[in-house]
Structure 1
Amino acid sequence: MIALVSPGQITSKKKLDGINVLDSNNLRRWLLKRPVELTEVELVVLVAIVNSPATWSAPTSPPSPTLLTQFAVIDREVETARVRHVSWQLFPIISWAAILVLAGPPFMKVVVREFLTPR
């Protein structure tokens, strides 16, 4: 299984046998519909193997403070970009709401006066 986190889009040029391309909405449903592959005993053995420290090799280098700092910087940049993106999406809606609140009542007075004034 390959999981892509927040891809803009996924394009598959041709359908391959045994390959399913799913979005996050359909992944859970697809996983739950799949047949059970492991018996309960096999699952217990697998969990024990995965949880055993001997299964995993030691890290080649411990996490360094600079690595964690670099990650924090990237994480802040991503969050800033997300906020900026949402702000630009909301800007037109907020602008129109402000225009309607500020200019709506005077405009409506003029419209009502023009239509209700006898000629």
Structure 2
Amino acid sequence: MTIEMPRMRQQFAAQAVIEELLRQQSRTPPRTGFGRFFGYSPLGADSLSWYQGAQGEIVVGAILDGMPPEWMVFHAVPIGTKGADIDHLIIGPGGVFTINTKHHRDKAVWVAGRTLMVSGQKQPHIRNSEFEAKRVTKMLAERMPQLAPAQPVLALVSPKSLSIKKPSETVKVLTAGSLRRWLLARPAVMSAAEALELAAIFDDPATWPPATLPPTENAQERFDALTREVRSARVRRTLWKLLGVVAVAALLVLVGPQLIAALMTYLSSPRG
């Protein structure tokens, strides 16, 4: 019996990251009743970065899924032999774009040519984005050589700031909020027929390297359940902090006048 492989269009945003997150999380001990009561995060130390990365890819995935129908998007496209993937791959009138998503909430991002810094720390985001586009361009040269090379894009989610001293010559660096407008402003370089032909190639699992690990069952549902736990824990922590503030304020109201009176008595008493 032949088993039909899932089409690439069936991949959902952040799928590869979510599956790795769930593998990491499976090694995290469950919270105790005490931890649940006081809102300790259910995420393990090794899971947090994967969870944040998934949140960023979901944001960008939603933006791309809302593009006009002449644009076709693929998520979590496998490349290489070590489980690496392209976060998002989109085809449209403006060409082919590989989109590398990075979630740097409240971080300052600085770009000068091939150098990218996040809160003063150098990161390989531009180099990695170039690599992804080169892999797709190589495939294009073999299948549809008349098409222009794939263009790499680095989409930053929720940075505190983005300062571009000198634009990268190879990678478009922008915030996720600017991504849709930028894509729609690209000049047309691909016909509708070419886009459909290329989408069929991208949709075929045989076009891409096979997965290095078996798929995680019910990944979306398990991730949604984990997200609800994370949010519930955050609410509990916030409530406990508010209760702490109220308790301190009440204590000051009750005891404060007595402390002030005692201090005034002490200061006014003669000391020899």
The TM-score, its normalising length taken from structure 2, stands at 0.27
Q: How many Å separate the matches in 1 of 2:238 and 2:258?
A: 29
Equivalent residues in 2 for 1:49-64, closer than 5 Å = 50=196, 56=200
Select the structure of larger CA radius of gyration. Answer: 1
Aligned partner of 1:85 in structure 2 is: 230
Aligned partner of 1:27 in structure 2 is: 179
Q: How many Å separate the matches in 1 of 2:182 and 2:220?
A: 31
Aligned partner of 2:65 in structure 1 is: none
Give the unaligned 5+ runs of structure 1.
61-69
Q: How many Å separate the matches in 2 of 1:99 and 1:56?
A: 58
Q: How many Å separate the matches in 2 of 1:24 and 1:90?
A: 27
Which of 87, 98, 111 lines up with 1:2 in the alignment? 98
Equivalent residues in 2 for 1:71-110, closer than 5 Å = 73-110=218-255
CA separation of 1:37 and 1:24: change in aligned 2, threshold 3 A = same
Give % identity: 13
Q: How many Å separate the matches in 1 of 2:226 and 2:261?
A: 51
CA separation of 1:29 and 1:78: change in aligned 2, threshold 3 A = same
**Offset at 1:103?**
4.7
Q: How many Å separate the matches in 2 of 1:84 and 1:4?
A: 28
Decide which structure has greater strand share.
2
Give the unaligned 5+ runs of structure 2.
1-96, 105-122, 131-166, 206-216, 266-272
Aligned partner of 1:66 in structure 2 is: none
Aligned partner of 2:126 in structure 1 is: 12
Q: How many Å separate the matches in 2 of 1:25 and 1:2?
A: 17
**Offset at 1:110?**
0.2
Count of matched residue pairs: 99
String of CA shifts for 1:55-93, please: whole Å, max 9, x gaps: 959x89xxxxxxxxx3xx211221122223334444443
Q: How many Å separate the matches in 2 of 1:4 and 1:91?
A: 34
Aligned-partner residue type, residue 115 of structure 1: I
**Offset at 1:22?**
3.4
CA RMSD of aligned residues (A): 4.2
SS at match of 1:3: strand
SS at match of 2:174: coil
Q: Is 1:111 aligned to residue 267 of structure 2?
A: no
Aligned-partner residue type, residue 37 of structure 1: A
